[in-house]
Amino acid sequence: MSTTKIRLIIIGDEILSGRRQDKHMPKLIELLGQRGLQLGGVELVSDDRPTIVQTLKRSFASGDVVFCCGGIGATPDDQTRQSAAEALGVDLALHPEAERLISERCAEMAAKGNGSADMSLPENKQRLQMGVFPVGAEIVPNPYNKIPGFFISNHTFMPGFPVMAWPMMEWTLDHRYRQLHHQTPRVEHSFLVYSLPESRITPALEELERRWPGVKAFSLPSMGNGRSHIDLGVKGEPQAASEALAYLRQAAIEAGGSLTP
């Protein structure tokens, strides 16, 4: 059974201020689920460089698999590349493969009448800053516009744009972490129970996790319109989860709950 923890770090003041809504977490959950994996944690971080550095220092030391979205551009509010280098105690340098890819992108745009292929021009020199990565990093291909992200110390750094980040997530999962896919079959089962206070079923949830240590129980009460109910369920290895589900269903009935509205 894999114990590798997979996390997501989202960097950007625009998320914290509400100017934009995060879409990366649900997408990563979807991509992981397709591969028999699950998300183990999420952090939202501002564009403040000292905060990013401290977050990444802690994250690099964890040994976790981490996807980091946002802040790898070349404008003043983009501080992720610099922060990653500082957190690791390494220099920044223009990555040769990134330089080639960015130059190719500029040439392609110039051929369409947009800009110039002359990489000595100030605007193209600025674009090359997006290929300045911590020393020792490897590129992460970007099929949308060729301007790559980077990978270092089990962390994948991507732009904040979903159209770029999501294919880079998929590529990373399938090329760097294929060995983690579907290591342990896991299922999730749940049912709705009515006329049962959550406090009354809590001892059964605790007993369930004691009897089946690899199974995680959950209880999600609904207080919305209509008749209140609890979504009770289990997650874990198929056989153990099936046994635990049967136990939980019976415990809910014995506690006075109803399985029908």
Predicted confidence band of residue 1 (pLDDT cuts 50, 70, 90): very low
Answer yes or no: is 17 within a domain. Answer: yes
**236 and 137 share one domain:** no
Asked whether residue 245 falls in the same domain as residue 165, the answer is: no
In a domain, 259, yes or no: no
**Are 198 and 108 in a shared domain?**
no
For residues 99 and 206, state if they share a domain: no
165-197 pLDDT, tens digit per residue, is: 999 999 999 999 999 998 878 889 999 999 999
Full-prediction pTM beyond 0.75?
Answer: yes
Q: H helices within 11-161, ranges in order? A: 13-16, 24-33, 49-62, 80-88, 96-111, 122-128
CATH number at residue 111: 3.40.980.10
The pLDDT value given to residue 186:
84
Residue 197's domain is classified under what CATH number? 3.30.70.1130
Domain total for the chain? 2
Residues 77, 173 share a domain? yes
| Averaged pLDDT for residues 66-88 | 96
Average per-residue pLDDT in the chain?
95
Q: Using the 3D structure, point to which of 162, 180, 198 is the last residue of a domain.
A: 180
* Boundary of a domain, candidates 154, 180, 206: 180
What residue type is assigned to position 177 of the chain? Y
d(C-alpha 177, C-alpha 172), whole Å: 7
Mean pLDDT of 146-158: 98
Is residue 203 in a domain?
Answer: yes
Report if residue 202 sits inside a domain.
Answer: yes
Taking residues 213-220, report their average pLDDT.
95
Residue 210 has pLDDT above 50, yes or no: yes
- In-domain check, residue 97: yes
Q: Considering the domain boundaries, does residue 87 fall inside one?
A: yes
Check if the beta carbon of residue 105 is closer than 8 Å to that of residue 47. Answer: no
Last residue of a domain, one of 180, 200, 220: 180
pLDDT at residue 250 is higher than 60: yes
Cβ neighbours, 10 Å, residue 18: 7
CA distances for 155 relative to 16, 36, 128, 137, 221, angstroms: 22, 20, 22, 10, 36
Q: How far apart are CA 223 and CA 206, in angstroms?
A: 23
How far apart are alpha carbons 201 and 161 in whole angstroms? Answer: 43
Is 1 part of any domain?
A: no
Q: Do both 195 and 164 map to the same domain? A: no
Alpha helices in the chain (DSSP H): 13-16, 24-33, 49-62, 80-88, 96-111, 122-128, 162-175, 198-211, 238-254
How confident is residue 224, by pLDDT bands cut at 50, 70 and 90?
low
Q: Report the share of the chain in percent with pLDDT over 90.
A: 90
More confident residue, 195 or 261: 195
pLDDT for position 79: 96
Q: Which amino acid type is present at position 253?
A: I
Answer yes or no: do 149 and 217 share one domain. Answer: no
Predicted confidence band of residue 225 (pLDDT cuts 50, 70, 90): low
The answer to whether residues 152 and 211 belong to one domain is no
**Residue 10: which residues within 8 A CB-CB, separation 6 or more?**
22, 24, 25, 42, 43, 44, 45, 68, 69, 70, 160
Per the domain annotation, does 44 fall within a domain? yes
Query: Which of these ranges, 1-10, 32-41, 59-68, 133-142, has the smallest mean pLDDT?
Result: 1-10
- What residue numbers bound the domain in which 236 lies? 187-254
Span 151-157, mean pLDDT?
98
User: In this structure, are 74 and 170 located in the same domain?
Assistant: yes
Q: Mark whether 194 and 78 lie in a shared domain.
A: no
